[in-house]
Amino acid sequence: MSKNFDSNGQGNRRVGKLALSLLLGVLLTACSTVTPYAPARNADSLGYSEIRIESNRFRIRYRFGSDVRPERAEALLLRRSAEVMLANGFDWFRVVDQNSERDPTPSGGNTSIGIGAGSVGGRAGGGVGIGFDLTPEQFRSTGRIEVLGGTGEKPKDPNVYDARDVLNTTNNALGGK
């Protein structure tokens, strides 16, 4: 019969340290929700989506995690608007509507209780477990912006943005994102 650890029990300690390291890594990863600059996979996931309403009118939606502050959210919405405008042949865009809302229910911080019992070969056993989700509450928010695209000279209006300028400015401000 072979042993899986050395005679002084150091193997068990190494396995325990490895398990603890893995658990801490999983917990730290779960605690951070990073909002991607990418299309949302579905209506509930983080990221952006857009819909064409008319030939020159678009509604851009961006779902943010708790890592995004309001100023950054606005910059991300303007950046995505500029990308959509340029991709559709427009030089500038006018913001005709903009709003944001915080999701009413946070995610994270759950507690659960489990009970189990069983028997094998005439031996019975049972147990009770309590689980705690150590992930801090993560609030999400959704920003929406509706824009009208245009070509040629940009109108002198504070709600009108040059799409190329917005792209360059937000590229620098957002660190290349």
- Please state the domain count of the chain: 1
2 in a structural domain: no
82 in a structural domain: yes
The model's confidence at residue 31, banded by pLDDT at 50, 70 and 90, is very low
What are 50-85's pLDDT values in tens digits?
A: 999 999 999 999 999 888 888 889 999 999 999 999
Decide: 64 and 140 in contact? Cβ < 8 Å: yes
Decide: 116 and 127 in contact? Cβ < 8 Å: yes
Q: What is the extent of the structural domain holding 101?
A: 35-116+126-173
Decide: 103 and 114 in contact? Cβ < 8 Å: no
22 in a structural domain: no
Give the pTM: 0.64
166 in a structural domain: yes
Q: How far apart are the first and last CA of the chain?
A: 58
20 in a structural domain: no
